[in-house]
């Protein structure tokens, strides 16, 4: 069976990290006989430069026609002045919404070899394995009305709308409950129900859903407390489910528990298992072109792609194991480096993972 993967390297460090992830994909493709065909496309600033917009029709068509998308990152100072309507992020948000990728899984797992790179004391993070389930196609990111308007007194006002329908909450809730069932059986729903009506409804729907999942222990937490608890005692969490913006913020926060944002992969899924896979970090303009970015989050995103969209769990496991091996061997990119370790470039880290795979 042939399976098509669209690769969208994007901007900044995107092409550097995706190059390593693609090498890994090619090797497991051969080794496990997966029949994956890779196609290249443009998104973000790279697409603006060629097509004048961050999500050209051709890219969207490619994305719709493939089984899974592997994305690097988009955006950067070069395109920051571009009119809001065509900002690079629109490319990414457009892809997510057009493909209906509402369920964003962001696992934060501490590799034991990186305990000393974590922002927290080793005893607080030893064995950390939590999953943030972030709603990805609704909430304040997409709510209408939105914009910047001029008031009668001549002052300008920016406004956005935080909105969730019951059905949007229900489908992400189900995904989170099911994830919790397969893991430790604990789900913490994060909201701001003491202030925002949209999240009062969110909480109600989560409580209704809980009746269908008696084997999952549901709790609720306000987002400000959740941010504090994540850095105080992160191991209290198994699965967290939350809206688009809170999930964005909490997942960057969770990244540092594992040592670096360069370690966190993600899967963005529709109802049918089609997905887009990307590291949770951005295009890192401050280190782009230097060959020092950590490619492991992107490589681990390939593993998630194999597991969730390409039905190749064995190949996924091989990649995850290989990452463990290179860390055992002491290979570290700058963001996770510590004394006595073997500091390597982006490409050398890719080499090490390939060596561990073979
Ligand atoms: N999914 C995406 O495409 C995505 C995600 C986040 C931000 N962005 C965009 O990226 C641009 C830069 O945003 P930002 O600086 O706020 O966030 P960022 O995630 O790009 O960078 C934040 C910090 O983390 C570091 N970092 C990120 N990835 C790394 C890696 N793999 N290895 C080592 N260090 C890494 C960077 O060097 C920087 O210091 C913006 O245009 C933003 O909109 C895109
Ligand atoms: C670039 C931006 C639109 C994006 C988001 O906020 O979703 C990013 O921060 C992420 O975490 O994927
Ligand atoms: Mg983010």
Q: Say yes or no: 47 and 177 in one domain.
A: no
pLDDT above 90 covers a percentage of the chain that reads: 94
**Within a domain: 113:** no
Are 9 and 87 within one domain?
A: yes
Instruction: Express each pLDDT in 249-296 by its tens digit.
Output: 999 999 999 999 999 999 999 998 899 999 999 999 999 999 999 999
On whether both 245 and 145 belong to a single domain, the answer is: yes
Say whether both 131 and 243 belong to one domain. Answer: yes
Answer yes or no: is 309 within a domain.
yes
pLDDT in tens, 182-236: 999 999 999 999 999 999 999 999 999 999 999 999 999 999 999 999 999 999 9
Q: Residues enclosing ligand 2, CB less than 6 A? A: 75, 89, 92-93, 248, 280, 282
Q: Binning pLDDT at 50, 70 and 90, where does residue 80 land? A: confident
Q: Where among 224, 258, 292 does a domain terminate? A: 258
What does pLDDT average to over the chain? 96
pLDDT at 163 over 90: yes
Helix (H) or strand (E) holding 242: strand 239-242
The answer as to whether 68 is a domain residue is yes
> Same structural domain for residues 162 and 185?
yes
CA distance 223 to 339: 36
Estimate the crossing angle of helix 296-308 against helix 14-32, to 10 degrees.
40
The contacts of residue 263 (CB under 8 Å, 6+ apart) are: 111, 114, 255, 294, 296, 297, 300, 336
Single residue among 258, 287, 306 that ends a domain in this structure: 258
Say what the pLDDT of residue 273 is.
Answer: 84
Please report the ipTM that was assigned to this predicted complex. 0.98
Ligand 2 centre to CA of 49 (Å) is 21
290-314 tens-digit pLDDT: 999 999 999 999 999 999 999 999 9
Whether pTM > 0.95 for this model: the answer is: yes
- Shared domain for 200 and 254, answered yes or no, is yes
Number of domains in the chain: 2
- 239 and 270 together in one domain: no
Q: Are 84 and 171 part of one and the same domain? A: no
Same structural domain for residues 192 and 272? no
The last residue of one of the domains, among 201, 232, 258, is 258
Q: Residue 311: left (phi > 0), alpha (psi -120 to 50), or beta?
A: left
Question: Which residue range forms the structural domain that includes residue 45?
Answer: 1-104+266-358
pLDDT for the residue numbered 2: 73
User: Can you give the CATH number for the domain in which 207 is found?
Assistant: 3.40.718.10
End-to-end Cα distance, the chain: 24
Using most ligand atoms within 8 A of CB, pick from 283, 293, 300, 349 the residue to mutate for ligand 1.
Answer: 283
**250 plus 136 within the same structural domain:** yes
Residue 248 known to be catalytic: yes
Q: How confident is the model at residue 90 (pLDDT cuts 50, 70, 90)?
A: confident
């Amino acid at each position: 069976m042939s399976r098509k993967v669209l690769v969208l390297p994007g901007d900044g460090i995107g092409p550097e990290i995706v190059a390593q992830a693609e090498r890994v994909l090619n090797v497991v493709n051969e080794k496990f006989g997966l029949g994956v065909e890779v196609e290249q496309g443009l998104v973000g600033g790279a697409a603006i430069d060629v097509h004048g917009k961050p999500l050209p029709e051709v890219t969207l068509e490619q994305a719709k026609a493939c089984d899974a998308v592997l994305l690097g990152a988009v955006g950067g100072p070069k395109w920051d002045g571009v009119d809001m309507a065509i900002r690079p992020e629109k490319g990414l948000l457009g892809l997510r919404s057009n493909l209906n990728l509402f369920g964003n899984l962001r696992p934060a797992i501490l590799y034991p070899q990186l305990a000393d790179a974590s922002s927290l004391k080793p005893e607080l993070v030893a064995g950390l394995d939590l999953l943030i389930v972030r709603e990805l196609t609704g909430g304040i990111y997409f709510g209408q009305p939105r914009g910047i308007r001029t008031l009668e007194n001549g002052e300008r006002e920016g406004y956005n709308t935080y909105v969730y329908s019951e059905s949007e909450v229900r489908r992400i809730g189900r995904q989170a409950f099911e994830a919790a069932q397969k893991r430790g059986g604990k789900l913490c729903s994060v909201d701001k129900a003491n202030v925002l009506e949209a999240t009062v409804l969110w909480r109600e729907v989560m409580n209704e859903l809980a009746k269908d999942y008696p084997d999952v222990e549901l709790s609720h937490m306000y987002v400000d407390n959740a941010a504090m608890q994540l850095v105080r005692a992160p191991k209290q969490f198994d699965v967290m489910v939350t809206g688009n913006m809170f999930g964005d913020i909490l997942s960057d926060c969770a990244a540092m528990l594992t040592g670096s944002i360069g370690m966190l992969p993600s899967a963005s899924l529709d109802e049918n298992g089609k997905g887009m896979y990307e590291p949770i970090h951005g295009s890192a303009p401050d280190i782009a072109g230097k060959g020092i970015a950590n490619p492991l989050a992107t490589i681990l995103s390939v593993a998630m792609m194999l597991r969730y969209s390409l039905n190749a769990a064995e190949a996924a496991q091989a990649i995850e194991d290989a990452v463990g091996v290179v860390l055992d061997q002491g290979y570290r990119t700058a963001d996770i480096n510590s004394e006595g370790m073997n500091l390597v470039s982006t490409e050398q880290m890719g080499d090490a993972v390939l060596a561990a795979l073979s």
